[in-house]
Chain A
Amino acid sequence: MSAALHRNRTGLRRGLALLVGGLVALTAAAAQVAPATAAAPPRNGIVCTTGGPVAGQPVFDLTTRTGYIDLPDGNTAFMWGYSSGFDPFQHPGPVLCVHEGDLVTVILHNTLPDDTSMVFPGQDDVRANGVPSQPQLGGGTPAMMTSLAPGASAQGGTVTYTFTAGRAGTFLYESGTNPEKQVRMGLFGALIVRPAQGDDYAYDSADSRFDTTEEFMVLLSEIDPYQHQAVEQGKNFNLTTYKARYWLINGRGYPDSIADNYASWLPNQPYGSLATVHPKQPNETPALARYLSVGSEDYPFHPHGNNGLVIGRDGRELKNGPADLSMEKFAINIGPGQTWDVVFRWYDAEDYSPANPVTVTVPSLANQVVGTFYSGSPYLGTKEALPPGVQTLNQCGEYYIISHNHALYQITSWGVNMTGPITYMRIEPPAPNTCAS
């Protein structure tokens, strides 16, 4: 089966390459007027797609496309996705960044063989082509819902959604048509609404301030390869047989997950999830992680080495009037469709260094198994020689502390262990360091 499937995919890929070639030509022609552009993307952290030059009125052109993503076991999955304007297929959809109070326009262009639509959970008074966006009913008695929102018809339809981003927070956008198929095929993305208070705040309160150089997305999803195969082959899929075999973070599985944004070998999966931070003081402005789940079960995500302070959920700050209801957690167990805003900071509580050494005799490295990211030294910024034959990816004595889903069967990829939704916090040694060299 797999050989035949592979040939089939290869053929489709060739076809896709031709199609993309055509689109590239179109993109070149349209480049000057593309409304949604991102500045030179950062290596790590959130890559915002912003809605053009008119302040207060961002406009996003989202085009549904098909394509393939690479999975950690060497397999590929056929996907549907949202791309910005004439951009080629990407997964997940672009991260739309707007400001509180903005009048947001999303123009959906549908190239798929199915009708599709979009919903914006957490946004009020969404309009589709100027009328309230409401569930669509089909014929029959009683009338059955066909879509959660007015949509764009297959192969060329267009619909325009507008809404005012009423409150700051982290939100999903996703397909409202047959979501059990279309969302799982990849029609989803993140919408970030920045508060009036400023881009360095998660919400409109002083204690939601974060370090804008350390803002990260943790978008969790899952894949049943048989559902994707069925869609690719135009066949029906029996949802009672649905069983996820892959779990992803920002559309990638580990170790791809810690590659840079726009890593060249992941052309369709632009978003990395490595969290590069610097060690903080206990009261220093924290980093921010925006968690989103589009899966169908709880993802108990566990960042090692620090508790996250959950300051918001589903785009609502955890406050009741003046009362602060935030909570520290070491398991961010995010449920289907939820978003959690979590600030965190790491510092070496004991300030260990060669001058303030750990109080154990460090065994000979020959008496240890040395990890891929280990520097050879317990101390931040210190690098030591490793035993012969041992490879390390450590650059400059930086620390790597893992974060991963703790329903541990979910950090596998159809038989390959220690993959899936795993990423690392990379802690840079204090400057001056040799990390850039």
Chain B
Amino acid sequence: MSSTPTQHTPGRSALSDLRLSRRRALGLAGSAAVLATAGTWAGRVLTPDAVASPGQPANLYLAGTDGWIHLPPSPAIPPFHPDNLAPDGLTTYIFGFRNVTGMSDAQRLGQKQKAQHAAPLFWVPQYDGNPDHEFRVQLTNLGLALRPDLFDAHTLHWHGFRNVIPFFDGEPSGSVSVPAGREFTYVYRPHEPGTYMYHCHVEDVEHVHMGMTGLVFVRPSQDGNTDLYPSGRYVYNDGDGSTGFDREFAMFLSEVWAEAHWADAHIQLPEWSDYRADFALLNGRVYPDTIAPNGSVDPFNPVHAADGDLIAPAGHPELQYQPQSSLVTCNAGERVALRFSNLGFRESAMTITGIRMRVVGRDATPMRGRGGTDTSYETDTINIGPGESYDVVFTAPPKTGSGYDTYYLYNRSLTRSNNLAAGGFGGQATEIHVYAGGVPAQQYPNDWGVSA
């Protein structure tokens, strides 16, 4: 495998100095023509619109760019997998997001071609009506290092956000998108708790499949009320504690069609109707990588190297750009919330052996009819289609003695709980470790609490 074709030094300032792109130069040439003939252009469109209150600084700063991740290199899918352009230890070309909050300009610009998958997990408190508490996500576009010929813009589409204006929806035809070297701030005032997902909506099929996808959820205003459930943490404003939980884990589903990823790296176009899911991913990894440790997951306390790069999880250098673990750790008797979102292109059948799940929400809506009828239900398997989300809560089974009991969470569409290997588990699968006690409280979602 060759090394990455383009190397970037953290201090490179090409993006910030790029005042006149090709597109822009064409636009200016056109403007001269318009002024000379019709005179319809007043020129004010080139200045920012001032607003009365420009609001607070961004709560989160995301960057869109390209990069590489690791999937099991064997068996190979020649010539597509592993990609012969991939850096050592990595296999698969992606587009993705990175959390660049708090970075210096040099650090941020240094993250070009260092995208991660899944995209950074984040969460937002339900909006309380105070504009100072709105949630602001700044987005920049670092460009695609391997495909400088693609001047693709990026956006952030919060999938499922109700009653949004096109300006903040991120669908590029109805509003605006962010070209390389520019930035844009999306403002969210989330009124509905629950589990959602987000993705870039530019060239939707391509940018989504290439990996610009992640999970976002909204915490209910009921949080903190310990009368309904001792932890004071809930999935919804249930009024009765039925969605209370002690631990929570995001389970983000995505897929990799090796040919499509290879095609983007090799300046080819895939035929999308030939789509297949060669790899089915859980939080950006396949089993058994899904039970490897977390890297930097908490978006509000990010940890990175001095140059801004991600730090690989302990013992797993190949998972440097796949920081999110899917291992569920809990104590017997605790309530565990699993938040599923699917941005793959196939329906998944996520099942747990030996533990029944209660479905308490779907598509960021509590399981209640209009009259308040409880429509929650218990099941072993949730069938989750593309673009759907499910919130489930289970109670960890009894456990005595030392060590832990292991339960499996996997895709019952079994072709997607393996890694194309001759046998054995893989793909969209992970483990649930139930201890008798002693697992400390989570610091953030998907936190193990233990060093396992």
Contacts and interface: CB of A to CB of B under 8 A. Distances in A.
Interface of A: 207, 243-245, 298, 300, 302, 304-307, 309, 318, 320, 322-331, 333, 346-350, 352, 357-374, 376, 378-380, 384-390, 399-402, 404, 406-412, 414-415, 417-418, 424
B153 A369 contact: yes
A227 to B, nearest CB: 14
B406 interface: no
A360 B55 contact: yes
Contacts of B184: 363, 368
Main SS class of interface, B: loop
Interface residues of B, number: 84
Interface string B339-367: 00000011100000000000000111101
Contacts of A410: 345
The secondary structure that dominates the A interface is loop
B223 interface: no
Interface of B: 24, 26-28, 30-31, 33-35, 40-42, 44-55, 131, 134, 136, 153, 157, 159-169, 171-179, 182-185, 187, 189, 191, 203-206, 208-209, 269, 271-273, 275, 345-347, 362-365, 367, 369-371, 373, 375, 385-388
Nearest to B374: A323
A349 B191 contact: yes
A361 B54 CA distance: 6
A402 B387 contact: no
B334 to A, nearest CB: 28
Contact of A414 (B164, B273, B369): B273
A415 B273 CA distance: 7
B385 A298 contact: yes
Given A330-B363, A369-B153, A322 B371 contact: yes
A10 B387 CA distance: 41
Nearest to B161: A305
A245 B271 CA distance: 9
Closest 9 CB pairs of A and B: A406-B387, A389-B30, A388-B31, A359-B55, A409-B275, A378-B167, A324-B369, A333-B385, A368-B176
Nearest to B174: A400
Contacts of A322: 371
B51 A362 contact: yes
B175 A374 contact: yes
B208 A407 contact: no
Contact of A360 (B54, B161, B269, B387): B54
Contact of A357 (B33, B51, B203, B346): B51
Nearest to A311: B370
A362 B45 CA distance: 11
Given A245-B273, A371-B174, A406 B205 contact: no
A307 B189 CA distance: 16
A412 B273 contact: yes
A96 to B, nearest CB: 29
A404 B79 CA distance: 32
Given A360-B55, A367-B179, A385-B42, 18 more contacts: A302-B159, A323-B373, A330-B159, A348-B163, A361-B49, A361-B54, A369-B176, A371-B172, A371-B173, A387-B27, A388-B33, A389-B26, A399-B174, A401-B164, A406-B345, A406-B386, A407-B345, A418-B205
Given A325-B369, A388-B34, A373 B159 contact: no
B54 A385 contact: no
B271 A415 contact: yes
B172 A369 contact: yes
Contacts of B273: 243-245, 409, 412, 414-415
A359 B369 contact: no
